Amino acid sequence: MAEGIEGKVLGKQISHPREYAPEILVAVPRVLNREQYDINNNSLPFIGVDAWHAYELGFLTEKGLPVAGVLKIVYSCNSEFLVESKSLKLYLNSFNMGKYGGNKTEGVAMVIATIKKDLQDLLKTSVDISFHDKYAKDNFDFSEYELLEDMSGVQEIEFKSFTEEESLLSADADTANQEIKVATNLLRSNCKITHQPDWGSAYIHIKCKEGIDISSLLKYLVSIRDENHFHEEICEMLYKRLYDKFSPEILMVSCLYTRRGGIDICPVRANKKEYLPKAIIQSEILTSQAFRQ
């Protein structure tokens, strides 16, 4: 059943709709993936959002003037459903030749209102949406994070596991009770349906009583290289493994994926609201891009 829902449009050859087509949107129940990691929908071990950047939103005004920009979509991970990415791409493309509003301002307002309603009806949750047509300001949330692949001795580490292996994670007393902020641009997994590679950057903020061995964390992140999951699922898997292993006082995981089909997906999960990256979780802020974006 899961693959039937998730693969309704993903992995299939479908023509871009030439007219407004809300019926093409696909909602995927989050529970389909959460069960295998013992994540209870009624008692989530995290809070957070899924932030989407759609770089190819475009439509025409009533006079035929093209309007183009970036659409930022943000909705809570508490929602029962997530939206399947290819269906969202096709849906947004259905606006391309439509005419909305007597001018740009009117058109943007009409299109945003339509998209907001359609996504809220689909996902049965509140959705924040903003339209951006200017470059992002310098508001990158992760400038203080240290790249794991740049740490001393990394070239000497032997990596053997390329499917997820939680046993690779280990404690380290040297980092006990320290706040650790680390990142990697080596994040890679595969699409759940098509098995095509997905690239991204992962950011982890953690503080735990027994400490965490940083090299073991890099080994673990590398071990998901050949896993087949949606982006949101990878983020929640990373979070849950760290949560279960270390019972951290502070835990935040962000996975900022490379755009594919004109859309990137940026799920973030944390154990407390104050650890969520402020620019990512607000639709009205267009954040500076990560290296992989």
CATH number at residue 152: 3.30.1130.10
pLDDT for res 59: 97
User: Is the same domain home to 159 and 120?
Assistant: no
Asked if the structure places residue 282 within a domain, the reply is: no
Catalytic residue among 77, 198, 235, 255: 198
Asked if the structure places residue 290 within a domain, the reply is: no
Work out how many domains the chain is built from and give that number: 2
pLDDT for res 85: 93
User: Is the same domain home to 96 and 158?
Assistant: no
pLDDT for res 193: 83
User: Is the same domain home to 126 and 162?
Assistant: no
Asked if the structure places residue 288 within a domain, the reply is: no
User: Is the same domain home to 22 and 121?
Assistant: yes
User: Is the same domain home to 126 and 150?
Assistant: no
Asked if the structure places residue 203 within a domain, the reply is: yes
Identify which of 263, 242, 86 has the alpha carbon closest to the alpha carbon of residue 164. 242
User: Is the same domain home to 155 and 260?
Assistant: yes
User: Is the same domain home to 164 and 128?
Assistant: no
Concerning whether 235 is annotated as a catalytic residue, the answer is no
Asked if the structure places residue 251 within a domain, the reply is: yes
Domain end, chosen from 66, 100, 132, is at: 132
Concerning whether 264 is annotated as a catalytic residue, the answer is no
User: Is the same domain home to 161 and 113?
Assistant: no
Residue-number span of the structural domain to which 157 is assigned: 146-275
Asked if the structure places residue 284 within a domain, the reply is: no
User: Is the same domain home to 159 and 99?
Assistant: no
pLDDT for res 267: 97
For the chain, list residues with pLDDT below 50: 1-3
pTM here?
Answer: 0.91
Q: Kindly report, residue by residue over 120-148, the tens digit of the pLDDT.
A: 999 999 999 999 998 887 778 899 999 99
Asked if the structure places residue 49 within a domain, the reply is: yes
Name the maximum alpha-carbon separation found in the chain. 66
Asked if the structure places residue 103 within a domain, the reply is: yes
Domain end, chosen from 80, 105, 132, is at: 132
User: Is the same domain home to 43 and 99?
Assistant: yes
User: Is the same domain home to 157 and 244?
Assistant: yes
Name all contacts of 146-151 with Cβ < 8 Å and 24+ positions apart: 146/181, 146/182, 146/183, 147/182, 147/183, 147/184, 147/185, 148/182, 148/183, 148/184, 148/186, 148/214, 148/217, 148/218, 148/221, 149/184, 149/185, 149/186, 149/218, 151/214, 151/215, 151/218
User: Is the same domain home to 191 and 83?
Assistant: no
Catalytic residue among 77, 118, 191, 266: 191
Q: Kindly report, residue by residue over 251-271, the tens digit of the pLDDT.
A: 999 999 999 889 999 999 999
pLDDT for res 5: 54
In the numeric block, which tokens belong to residue 145? 């994070």
In the numeric block, which tokens belong to residue 160? 């053997």
